[in-house]
Amino acid sequence: MCGLFSLCKCGVTSVAFEAVCPIPLSQYPTVTMGHGGGGRLTQMLIEQLIQPALTNPSLDRLHDGAQLEVGGARVAFSTDSYVISPLFFPGGDIGSLAVHGTVNDLAMCGAQPLALSVGMIIEEGLPMETLWRVVQSMRDAAGAVGVPIVTGDTKVVDRGKGDGIFLNTTGLGLIPPGIQIDPQRAEPGDIVIVSGPLANHGIAIMSVREGLEFETALESDSAPLHTLVADLLAVAGPAVHVLRDPTRGGVASALNEIAQAARVGILLEEKNLPLDEAVRGACEILGFDPLYVANEGKCLVIVAADYATLALEALRRHPLGAQAAMIGQVTSEHPGSVVMRSRIGGLRSVDMLSGEQLPRIC
Amino acid sequence: MCGLFSLCKCGVTSVAFEAVCPIPLSQYPTVTMGHGGGGRLTQMLIEQLIQPALTNPSLDRLHDGAQLEVGGARVAFSTDSYVISPLFFPGGDIGSLAVHGTVNDLAMCGAQPLALSVGMIIEEGLPMETLWRVVQSMRDAAGAVGVPIVTGDTKVVDRGKGDGIFLNTTGLGLIPPGIQIDPQRAEPGDIVIVSGPLANHGIAIMSVREGLEFETALESDSAPLHTLVADLLAVAGPAVHVLRDPTRGGVASALNEIAQAARVGILLEEKNLPLDEAVRGACEILGFDPLYVANEGKCLVIVAADYATLALEALRRHPLGAQAAMIGQVTSEHPGSVVMRSRIGGLRSVDMLSGEQLPRIC
């Protein structure tokens, strides 16, 4: 196989290698937790190392999923691995999360789910009962969505070489005619809507990990968004330019990626950000900015201004969008950046997450 | 989420749980390495625990991939996770293996590959250079096949919670009209062909792990079989009833699965099994039966007798099938079982692999 690495003299001399490896090895000799955090380091890994190597038009769009033509239909194709810790948490578990997460990635392409695959990497010694609970949770979540899990794979790794169970789900979905969702389609004047309050998933996970108890139970918002998206597209169809579920890295990182992809600015209004009181309190105690905390049942919608009210109303009629809110606007100013107007009127830059805020969040 | 587990009183009383969990917990309280070995325990886990829970017509066929109708086309959809150790081995590495393996699973549905996804689970501390080598290997393997990697996902887990890197690839492929590959289609009278010598992959991995050196270099046979299958289908088309790549669990386990699915017997001729001399020697030294050792660039073909010679000739004209051989026949006797006639004429039962022969082989 060595011949195939002729461009990269790995292990021969680090100088020759470093001349070719697109990540500076002196700065990042190894992969760190931050490279998986969904922020700046993840973006660097993907945009500098992975995407240029594997380049093709679908991958280069860096969307939540690929869009392909298959047999005359437009198909969305998306993959995600799930490494969340703990496996069971308030409001969900790794099984339901793996179904919801990939259904949502398809939905963010405007697609309705057709089929899922599941790959399980199980650590030797996992209680059989735990596997059974996870499989049942996948069954129930897929049943509720109405998407079959049509093919799968099971691997077992030695004790100490995994962490209970990791899942991968990959999904196929059908994109309706006339729908063209693409991060590059954000245009100055478009309105930014979020489908509900921020940060519930991340804060629920963190409270379990830290053993924190709050007066109000904090639950993950893990939920499948395909019917919410269908309702949205039914009223605003082609006026919906971008959809994105703000998971790892939160709303801040997702909007920064969109601003960079479309070369536009985004102006957020802090006073409009929906936030549950319990989550607000937990964020203050834990020192987290909810803009950077993961969500698993919310989507960002970037829609032409003329359709923004219709879109908001459609979201609010859906049980998962009752607290949807217009939170900002796409601008031609400060292209590539996100800026927020605070409650007292000042402007501050909202950067991507740098490093790792909450490891193993999904 | 607990409500969703109402059928399974996990953690409440183990008696109530055990009454429902389809795997006997007293016998298998935890998942073992054998459950990932590709033999009897893997089959039990899939057929007793996973498949009944997630049941649907595609999954229930227990084929290498699902076959779906999408937009008027017949599409194959297949997933595999790769947890091989070591990451780099003679004849390949985890990156090329992950491309070849899923391309082959599509090919075993009779499909030509359209697109792949990749999910990476990276352990904190993996040398960036190693990731770069793996990504380049995926690029080169996908480039050689001519299949784009259109979407991906990257996760990082804490040091000690993974093992360098695990990959998942999921593939989409197009099944040509008139082709109907299905393990249940094996019929008495059909001929069993293997596309080349057995056990090269498993023996190459084992020799690296054990630090063994042989006079002849032992290399994995990891290779993409989509053009071999295309050549085969061009001459034998609908007469090809079953295709299967004998990976984990080897030829013995793959043929047992087919015999069980189709409720037929299979009679192998030991003298016809192709085997490289170096592999034969290594198997003798290591005490392995090559029928149970993994292959990553071979396929089993079960074809109507009238087309067997045409099929064999087509395989032999292809560089990856030069040593293809007819190794047996499908029978109406001993349905569900595989029997082998030895060189001296005696018959012996060839059971599924029980337990784990070579862990982390793919």
ipTM of model: 0.93
Tell me which CATH code domain A183-350 carries.
3.90.650.10
User: Is the separation of the CB atoms in B49 and A89 below 8 Å?
Assistant: no
- Grouping H, G, I as helix, E, B as strand and the rest as coil, residue B346 is coil
Burial A220-232 (b: 16+ CB within 10 A, else e): bbbbbbbebbbbb
User: Is the separation of the CB atoms in A96 and B96 below 8 Å?
Assistant: no
Question: Are the beta carbons of A36 and B154 separated by less than 8 Å?
Answer: yes
Closest CA to B8 of A222, A218, A137, A38: A137
Question: Are the beta carbons of A359 and B158 separated by less than 8 Å?
Answer: yes
- Grouping H, G, I as helix, E, B as strand and the rest as coil, residue B175 is coil
User: Is the separation of the CB atoms in A199 and A290 below 8 Å?
Assistant: yes
Question: Are the beta carbons of A150 and B56 separated by less than 8 Å?
Answer: yes
The residue to which tokens 């096949």 are assigned:
B145
How far is Cα A3 from Cα A78, in angstroms, rounded to an integer? 32
Q: Give me the architecture of the B183-349 domain, per CATH.
A: Alpha-Beta Complex (3.90)
pLDDT, tens digit only, all 362 positions of chain B: 222 222 233 333 333 444 488 999 999 999 999 999 989 999 999 999 999 999 999 888 878 899 999 988 999 999 999 999 999 999 999 999 999 999 999 999 999 999 999 999 999 999 999 999 999 999 999 999 999 999 999 999 999 999 999 999 999 999 999 999 999 999 999 999 999 999 999 999 998 988 877 777 799 999 999 999 999 999 999 999 999 999 999 999 999 999 999 999 999 999 999 999 999 999 998 899 999 999 999 999 999 999 999 999 999 999 999 999 999 999 999 999 999 999 999 999 999 988 777 889 99
User: For residue A315, what are the contacts with CB-CB under 8 A and spacing of at least 6?
Assistant: A193, A195, A228, A231, A232, A301, A321, A324
Closest CA to B93 of B245, B220, B197: B220
Residue B331 is given by DSSP the state: E
Tell me which CATH code domain A65-174 carries.
3.30.1330.10
Q: How is residue A298 written in tokens?
A: 């919310």
User: Is the separation of the CB atoms in A87 and A133 below 8 Å?
Assistant: no
How far is Cα A350 from Cα A341, in angstroms, rounded to an integer? 10
Question: Are the beta carbons of B163 and A157 separated by less than 8 Å?
Answer: yes
Question: Are the beta carbons of A128 and B30 separated by less than 8 Å?
Answer: yes
Nearest to B170 among A49, A79, A162 (CB): A79
Question: Are the beta carbons of B156 and A36 separated by less than 8 Å?
Answer: yes
Show which of residues 131-160 on chain A sit within 8 Å of chain B, judged by CB atoms: 131-133, 135-140, 142, 148-158, 160
Tally of CA atoms within 13 A in the half-sphere of B107 that contains its CB: 28
pLDDT at A335 over 90: yes
Alpha helices in chain B (DSSP H): 14-18, 40-44, 51-54, 57-60, 94-107, 128-145, 200-210, 226-236, 250-262, 277-286, 308-317
Written out in words, the top-level CATH class of the domain with range B60-174 is: alpha beta
Domain limits of chain B? 8-55, 60-174, 183-349
Q: How is residue A347 written in tokens?
A: 């402007």
CA dihedral B168, B172, B173, B178 (to 10 degrees): 120
Chain A residues in contact with B125 by the CB 8 A cut-off are 30-31
Closest CA to A29 of B94, B161, B152, B131: B131
Dump pLDDT digits (tens) for A172-191.
999 999 999 999 999 999 99
Residues in chain B, total: 362
Question: Are the beta carbons of B135 and A53 separated by less than 8 Å?
Answer: yes
Q: Is B232 on the interface with A (CB under 8 A)?
A: no
Provide the CA A105 distance to its chain's centre, in angstroms.
7
Walk across the sheet containing B149-157 and list its strands.
B66-70, B73-82, B165-174, B112-123, B149-157
Per-position DSSP letters for B22-90, written without gaps between them: SS-TTT-SB--GGGGSSSHHHHHIIIIIIHHHH--HHHHT--SSEEEEETTEEEEEEEEEE--SSSEET
Nearest to A58 among B56, B123, B148 (CB): B148
How far is Cα B33 from Cα A260, in angstroms, rounded to an integer? 45
User: For residue B342, what are the contacts with CB-CB under 8 A and spacing of at least 6?
Assistant: B270, B348
Chain A residues in contact with B4 by the CB 8 A cut-off are 96, 136-137, 140
